Amino acid sequence: MQTIPALLEALANLFRPEVFLVVLAATIVSLIVGVLPAISGGLCVIMLLPFLFGADPTLVMPILCALMAVSGLGGSITSVLTGIPGDNPNAATVLDGFAMTRKGEAGRSLGLALGTGVLSGVAGVLLSIPVIPLMAPILMACKTPEMLLIIVLALLFLAVLTKGSRVKGLISAGIGLTMACVGSQAASGVERLTFGNLYLYDGIETATVLMGILAVPTLLELRAAGVSIAPPGSVAAGKLSEVWRGAKEVLLKHKLVWLRGTLLGYLVGIAPALGSNTGVWIAYAQAKQASKNPDEMGKGSPEGIVAPESARGVCISADLLTTLVFGIPGSSIMVVFLAAFFMTGIQPGPMLVIQHTALAFEMLLSMALATLIAAVICFFGAPLLVKITRVSPHYLFAFLLPLMVLGAYVTREYPMDIIAIGLTALLGLAIKRLGFSAPSIILGFVLGDLFERYMVRSVNLYGLGFFMSSPISIVLTALIIISVLWGPAKALFVRLRGSKAALEGGA
């Protein structure tokens, strides 16, 4: 594999006028689609599939990569400014991004999201180019037990840090896992929690849960309050200087959060089947665990924007790398990329990187190019976009609620999904009132299917001692135990020190 000549050939192909123009067009389309709630660039990729038979892969693949790379960036705009996830991986950004917007810091929060997404998107490509030869040992080291323990660790990181009650955090994660169990079991086909309802046989759609628990309750609160998203006096929040201020903060104040989120997102991304839906919540949970002010997470903390957006931005290129090198989908949408390869006459797998090295590099570089183009468009368009935060909530409610319902409906085109949004919205309102953790519920729901799959495989292959099956498993198990016991142990230590100090003072 001649790396340098292939890289130069990929650059030359990417800047051919026809390739550059189609990447530009795909970037603009993907940004527009990404801004629409619950509709992603993956939908555009699927719509393009019928037109790919026999097409030139050096022209087609950059289009598909641009569509995928930029969609999440558009989704972060919707998440930050309206509190509605642009797509599933943007759900974690809503928690702190929208909270900052409601404080009158829309420009700054948008700058944080865009700056983080752009930096991580480019970083993912730069990581992928030299890491191709290292892919095999990394993936071989993470077997089924390791994947299961990573999921458990992610759930605990977020659940045990729920403000007010660790028990409520764990219960919230359990609720999410229970919701993920609705439907038929993948391996056996056994029905669970369907209550004889045909609609529930396919389970609850992710977009429906995200809209119901995160977006609709927020929109209802705004409508009831009768005030705009941002405070009336926050005119300066939409200036370009505020957007740049947020973007600069990523590396000036939050570089460690960005670095950890990027590395975590990349490691999750190269693991088959996990993808950005999982990576963003693991990064968010880890950021909350490591934060000096974990109670601020969810209330408008910049760390709560940087961590998930860094993981989201880097996951796409890591997903693609796994798909290219092994022919194994790095995430669900990468299944569509596999179909695109076959339609253009290319066999994915190790031989693709050997025989079509330039094409592999061209796909990765097209992601970086699309991300940079999108950054220019978004940053200079941000002051105009921020104006939406000063629109009357009556108009926002009338426009956004039907759009959310439509976004959830088009995913599967089930009319019952509309009713499900209403029911999950009631659950979302109850969660806020009772002090349970919405992030823990969402994370439990998103990871539920993978948790069950890896649990069954781990027990079948390694028995009940699967958590001791390898050195990596032992380390992860130790981290799980520490994350559970650290809080109570710390509280006990503080009480003992207080008692000792009181006794010494009395003496």
Tens of pLDDT, residue by residue over 123-142, are 888 888 777 656 655 555 66
- Count Cβ atoms within 10 A of the Cβ of residue 472 and give its class: 0-12 exposed, 13-18 middle, 19 or more buried: middle
- Nearest alpha-carbon partner for 421 in 12, 56, 85: 85
User: The whole model's pTM is what?
Assistant: 0.65
Higher pLDDT, 397 or 378: 378
In the chain, what percentage of residues exceed pLDDT 90? 0
pLDDT category at 347 given cuts 50, 70, 90 is: low
**Cα separation of 255 and 251, whole Å?**
4
pLDDT category at 237 given cuts 50, 70, 90 is: very low
pLDDT category at 236 given cuts 50, 70, 90 is: very low
Average pLDDT in the 414-429 region? 82
pLDDT category at 80 given cuts 50, 70, 90 is: confident
pLDDT category at 234 given cuts 50, 70, 90 is: very low
In the chain, what percentage of residues exceed pLDDT 70? 74
**Cα separation of 246 and 7, whole Å?**
33
Amino acid 235: pLDDT: 46
Amino acid 463: pLDDT: 77
**Cα separation of 475 and 446, whole Å?**
24
**Cα separation of 393 and 403, whole Å?**
15
pLDDT category at 162 given cuts 50, 70, 90 is: low
Amino acid 43: pLDDT: 60
Amino acid 491: pLDDT: 67
Which two three-digit tokens encode residue 95? 């928690």
Examine the pLDDT at 229 and tell me if it is beyond 60: no
Examine the pLDDT at 99 and tell me if it is beyond 50: yes
**Cα separation of 283 and 399, whole Å?**
32
Average pLDDT in the 21-32 region? 84
**Cα separation of 378 and 70, whole Å?**
11
Q: Which residues fall within 8 angstroms of residue 402, CB to CB, at 6 or more apart? A: none
Q: Which residues fall within 8 angstroms of residue 13, CB to CB, at 6 or more apart? A: 19, 58, 358, 362
Most confident range (mean pLDDT) of 216-225, 290-299, 349-358 is 290-299
Examine the pLDDT at 199 and tell me if it is beyond 60: yes
Least confident interval from 77-91, 118-132, 180-194, 398-412: 398-412
